[in-house]
Chain A
Amino acid sequence: MITGRFFAAGADRRIAITIFILLAAAIIVPLLNLAVSPTSAFYVPAYIVALTGKYLCYALLALALDLVWGYCGILSLGHGAFFALGGYAMGMYLMRQIGSRGVYGNPILPDFMVFLNYKELPWFWYGFDHFWFAAIMVLAVPGLLAFIFGWFAFRSRVTGVYLSIITQAMTYALLLAFFRNDMGFGGNNGLTDFKDILGFNVQADATRSALFAASAVMLALAVFVTWAIVGSKYGKLLMAVRDAESRTRFLGWRAENVKLFAFTVSAVMAGIAGALYVPQVGIINPGEFEPSNSIEVVIWAAVGGRGTIVGPIIGALLVNAGKSWFTGVLPELWLFALGGLFVAVTLLLPKGIIGMWDSWRGNARALRAASVVEEAAAKVGVASATSKPARSPARNPGEWSWSDPEPQAAE
């Protein structure tokens, strides 16, 4: 049944196309980078691979946010925190992979710890020399934080703008905490100078291509998971909580648990995005916890179209491509452009790019349907004049021909 829905028409087909494009990109882009000669017109330079790989991580983050914001009405202004925590978990693994190749040559302690006179590895760094352990932490740390945070917030029925403010406070608190050298996460400088991931050089073209492919595949998987969640009875419940929370309570549903599940899943997705992001950009520092980062994610989702699956991805890709271009050409104007974009989208495209596209398509279809009807009416008019159909509703020819072709035009 689920596969039937997957290949069906309409919105579900759009998901299938998105997943197909992402998987195709995961194969084609690395091929164009590695197998095509640099002189060819089809060659994709390594910096483009890294840049688009980064965008895909942002798209995954925007999708994660949209699961809670678009589908459950929880406007989280702290999703950057989950992204950064996933990134830090990956960064810690990458730091341990440096081994004795660091500036100070200490086989156990990362450079910043030697510099800060640490005598031994803090307990929370244990295990990060194994990839599997780091991978679990990438999922567990953001998931657990979201679970605990959501448990208290949703249980106390904190909603709306108050919830947004405390999510913002959460990421700000983490920002301040991670800035401290005593935290043991490299303080201001964060974690950088990575050498290897799973034994491959992070700087190598092949590794970058592999990371790009991993990001694309992961995003495709997240699209599928989000689509499956949103289409299930639970997904309908999620939107029901968004639209009429008290109704769900009086039907016996625990709205707080409904929100908590979505919030935790979303945080895990954001953590994965962060973990894929860090090896591609080569650094993770407390700046990722910056509240403005989380707000930017909201803008991506809003621009693309909240409450859709494809929208946040398109929004994240377009806004970031715009940012890369803008900061190259007119760096001092970028923030104004971003702010202006948010205002413009809110005022002019409340449903984002996807919403605009859908309504434009809807109008086009309605116009086409109307012209079909007109034609049919004209034909029937001629026919009734010449051959007199026996059916009585033909008294007013336009009317019965109206009722049968495409009555759904209004949608």
Chain B
Amino acid sequence: MSKSNTILYLDGVSVSFDGFRAINNLSLVLDKGEMRAIIGPNGAGKTTMMDIVTGKTRPDEGEVFFDGQVDLTRHDEAEIAMMGIGRKFQKPTVFESHTIEDNLMLALKGPRSIFPALFHRRSAAEARQIDDILGIIRLGDKRHEQAANLSHGQKQWLEIGMLLAQDPKLLLVDEPVAGMTDAETEETARLLKDIARDHSVIVVEHDMHFVRELGVKVTCLHEGSVLSEGTLDFVSADERVVEVYLGR
């Protein structure tokens, strides 16, 4: 399989923790500009896969390439983030004691060393970018509020907004609609589809309605490897997927 024209290329990746194989010979390819939904029961290795891609966990074996040529196993989290991979955690993780605006300001693309940060002044261009993102995530009226005061769903959006501020090439979004109301879920699907127009996106989600709404190719993981891949209808018609989800 050719790596060129892929944004993410995983081949034969395995990792085990204390003898437990969390990821087992996993191969997964994401084309540039593609949005992919990843489903799978608890413990299927979805979050571990994200840990491997973002440099948090080193794989025992296998290849992980970003943008066709960068070997991600040789870089750490900060380097990978700077190359253009953004990640939203399963539990929304924002800087609770800062305002919404400051959360975005810390995420904005730019130099990441100490001294520029020490003498940083907000430029007009940055202010504009922050305004744009606030508009997209619909938190413009709360910009001066502390992130701790946001609802769970709003925190999820703020975190997605922080990803946008980073301007990554690839977004990894872990359970973006957990704990959201139906209206918020719909809104989030719309938001992600918007983002997918000019970014590559991987969405991990349990909520099948939400996955259906995204309307993209689905990969089902089970016990650390790919069980089935295709449209949602194809995957959910797959005998083995049904078995895994309903128990045998």
Contacts and interface: CB of A to CB of B under 8 A. Distances in A.
Interface string A251-295: 111110110010000000000000000000000000000000000
A374 interface: no
A391 interface: no
A250 B118 contact: no
B96 interface: yes
Nearest to A241: B95
A232 B81 CA distance: 23
Contact of A247 (B95, B112, B113): B95
B86 to A, nearest CB: 7
Interface string B74-115: 000110011000110100011111100010011100001110
A243 interface: yes
Interface string A1-31: 1000000000000000000000000000000
Contact of A236 (B81, B106, B162): B106
Contacts of B107: 251
Q: Which of A233, A236, A249, A251 has the most CB of B within 10 A?
A: A251
A254 B77 CA distance: 9
Interface in B105-132: 105-107, 112-114, 117-121
A246 B106 contact: no
A240 interface: yes
A250 B120 contact: no
B166 interface: yes
Contacts of B95: 236, 239-240, 243-244, 247
A356 B15 CA distance: 50
B112 A253 contact: yes
A87 B142 CA distance: 49
Contacts of A255: 78
A240 B106 CA distance: 9
A244 B54 contact: no
A246 B81 contact: no
Interface string A221-255: 00000000100111011011001101111111111
Given A233-B120, A261-B114, A251 B94 contact: no
Contacts of B54: 250
Contacts of A1: 121
- Interface secondary structure of A, over-half rule: helix
A243 B117 contact: no
Contacts of B102: 236
Contact of B118 (A229, A249, A253, A254): A229
B78 A232 contact: no
Nearest to B109: A252
A240 B98 contact: yes
A343 B178 CA distance: 39
A251 B114 contact: no
Contacts of B93: 244, 246-247
Nearest to A255: B78
A257 B113 contact: yes
A229 B120 CA distance: 11
Nearest to B147: A243
Contacts of B162: 251
Interface string B22-55: 0000000000000000000000000000000010
Nearest to A240: B95
A251 B97 contact: no
A234 B120 contact: yes
Given A244-B93, A251-B166, A258-B114, A233 B81 contact: no
Contact of B77 (A236, A243, A244, A250): A250
B106 A234 contact: no
A356 B180 CA distance: 36
A67 to B, nearest CB: 13
Contact of A252 (B82, B114, B118): B82
A69 to B, nearest CB: 15
Contacts of A246: 56, 77, 89, 93
Given A247-B95, A254-B112, A237 B77 contact: no
B209 to A, nearest CB: 28
A234 B77 contact: no
A233 B105 contact: yes
Interface string A23-60: 00000000000000000000000000000000000000
A1 B122 CA distance: 11
Contacts of A254: 78, 112-113
A244 to B, nearest CB: 5
A251 B83 CA distance: 11
Nearest to B108: A251
Given A240-B95, A243-B95, A244-B93, A249 B77 contact: yes
B166 A236 contact: no
Contacts of A257: 113-114
A244 B119 CA distance: 23
B96 A243 contact: yes
Nearest to B98: A236
Candidate in A248, A252, A257, A261 with the most chain B CB atoms within 10 angstroms? A252
A236 B114 CA distance: 12
A244 B77 CA distance: 14
27 contacts: A229-B118, A233-B105, A233-B106, A233-B120, A234-B114, A234-B118, A234-B120, A236-B102, A237-B106, A239-B97, A244-B93, A244-B95, A244-B96, A246-B56, A246-B89, A249-B81, A250-B86, A250-B87, A250-B89, A251-B166, A252-B78, A252-B81, A252-B82, A253-B78, A253-B106, A254-B112, A257-B113
5 closest residue pairs by CB, A with B: A252-B81, A233-B120, A234-B117, A249-B77, A234-B118
